[in-house]
Amino acid sequence: MPAETPAAAWQDGWLKSARAVPSPNHGPRPKDARIDLLVLHSISLPPGRYGGPEIEQLFCNQLDWDAHPYFAGLRGLEVSSHFLIRRDGALLQFVSCDDRAWHAGRSCWRGRDNCNDDSIGIELEGLEGWSFAPAQYQALALLCQALARRYAIAHVAGHEHVAPGRKADPGPGFDWARLREALRWPQECFPSATLEQRNPAVDGSDPGQSVPQGAGSAAAMQ
């Protein structure tokens, strides 16, 4: 069979191969938004526990705040991400990529503030700083390729890079070299030297500005 065309793989910003779990936590992008950034996150609820329904419940405003002591700090939080990749590589989508999900919060990359406006958020089920499963890297590479065929993706960064000091995910356990090797995208698409966990954008200079135009705690995502 011929490879599926980009148009056939998508419907209104939804990737047909992902399990759709629509979240109410989204909004329109600015009219002039150029969707060219992938922001990678990590999340587990409660921290370090995998496979349960809590992440989906959080993104859909259905989490029982009293079910675990950790959830008290998340009470009333309204957040979302476009995608979630489970430990076994299963792919879920919560928000159309044509819409603005609430994942990056206060952020800056490639000379632009408010990364939610023109980025796609990808959550990896995992604990900040810990390693991720081989199936997740495989699913992530396939997802990045599908997104690049549909949108003008030119940059991949971690939440730690676009919100330095405030966020630290996916953290040192994420293998950036593995993702670069799988994608075969230019080094310029990624944080330089994986950015040493710091982005001088808070001081007024953004390493992302040098990239030619053409990847944690849920409590502060929005």
Residue 185: CB atoms within 10 A of its CB come to 20
Is residue 123 part of the annotated active site? The answer reads yes
DSSP 18-74: SEE---S-EEPPPTT----EEEEEEE-SSTT--SSSHHHHHHTT---TTSSGGGGGG
Q: Which residue reads 């406006």 in tokens?
A: 117
CA 222 to CA 77: how far, in whole Å? Answer: 8
Residue 170, preceding bond cis, omega within 30 degrees? yes
CA 80 to CA 93: how far, in whole Å? Answer: 10
Can you say whether the dihedral through the CA atoms of 64, 70, 75, 77 is positive or negative? negative
Q: Which residues contact 160 (CB under 8 A, 6 or more apart)?
A: 167, 168, 169, 170, 171, 195, 197, 216
CA 70 to CA 79: how far, in whole Å? Answer: 16
Among 54, 123, 125, 160, the one annotated catalytic: 123
- Give the catalytic positions in this structure: 123
